[in-house]
A = this chain, B = another copy of it.
Amino acid sequence: MTAVGITTVSEPPPDGTARIGILVTSDRASLGRYDDLGGPAIRAELGRLLVSPWEEVYRLVADEVDDVAAALTELADARGCSLIVTTGGTGPAPRDMTPEATERVCDKMMPGFGELMRQVSLAKVPTAILSRQTAGIRGRSLIVNLPGKPSAISDCLPAVFPAIPYCLDLIGGAWLETDPAICVAFRPKDGTCCKRPAKGAVPIGGNETTAAG
């Protein structure tokens, strides 16, 4: 991977800190011809949504499918990000390849994220159907594609966020807590799969009784 632009090399998180990757895919921003607006918008939204400790790992790459895939892999595998949020590259233009890169690196796809985000955006603008954004799981990481436009980020990320903490519980990711005044995250009342897993433990299935299974 050729990481372009600002690269934050993070120390391993102290116990209890969730690591979140922010991946900006943009030819122009990666060349310095354009200020990245998507990354700061995601950072601001996460800051508003989360009350549990988290730290970010930021990457900015050109819209090359190999580079995007490599950045996702690095954020998931080497950096241990439980959540990776991308911005940009989800449209129909020739250089928009973020969903393809996401699909390439994921073990399983989560079509419900893209469906809901398009539905929410569609209430604002009819071109929401042009967004090909999706989500998927790689190991213990959830990858979620967001649009490039900051206002669309503010529509899409809060729409899907109520499902994200429990999703991370199910895949053995970090424990997230949201500000209930902003976002009521759902965890089943019976507590199955909803205690912070011990280090190294992968929660086993539990699909019979989960609200997602």
Give the contacting residue for A110; candidates B37, B129, B148; CB below 8 A.
B129
Which of A27, A113, A128, A210 has the most chain B CB within a 10 Å cutoff? A210
Closest Cβ–Cβ distance, residue A66 to chain B (whole Å): 16
- CB < 8 Å neighbour of A92 from B94, B118, B147, B171: B171
Within 8 A of B (CB), among A103-130: 108-116, 118-119, 122, 125-130
Asked if A80 CB lies within 8 Å of chain B CBs, one says: no
* CB-nearest residue of chain B to A187: B127
Cα of A122 to Cα of B112 in the assembled complex, Å: 10
A9 within 8 Å of B (CB atoms): no
Kindly list chain B residues whose C-beta atoms are within 8 Å of the C-beta of A99.
108
A152 interfacial by beta-carbon distance below 8 Å: yes
Interface string of A163-196 (1 = CB under 8 A from B): 1001100111000000000001110000001000
Number of interface residues of A (CB under 8 A): 73
What residues on B are CB-neighbors of A27 within 8 Å? 204-205
What is the CB-to-nearest-CB distance from A157 to chain B, in angstroms, rounded to a whole number? Answer: 13
In the complex, what residues of B have CB within 8 A of residue A96's CB?
A: 108, 205, 207, 213
CB distance from A38 to the nearest CB of B (A): 7
5 more contacts with CB within 8 A, not counting A28-B208, A128-B211, are A92-B137, A110-B129, A115-B129, A129-B163, A147-B211
Query: What are 21 contact pairs spanning A and B, CB under 8 A?
Result: A25-B207, A28-B205, A89-B213, A92-B110, A93-B170, A93-B171, A93-B193, A93-B213, A96-B108, A96-B213, A97-B108, A108-B132, A110-B132, A111-B114, A116-B129, A127-B186, A127-B212, A128-B211, A130-B163, A148-B207, A152-B211
Q: Which 3 A-B pairs have the closest CB atoms?
A: A130-B212, A112-B129, A148-B213
Task: Show the binding face of A for B, using Cβ within 8 Å.
Answer: 25-29, 34, 36-38, 63, 88-97, 99-100, 108-116, 118-119, 122, 125-132, 134, 137, 142, 147-149, 152, 160, 162-163, 166-167, 170-172, 184-186, 193, 202-213
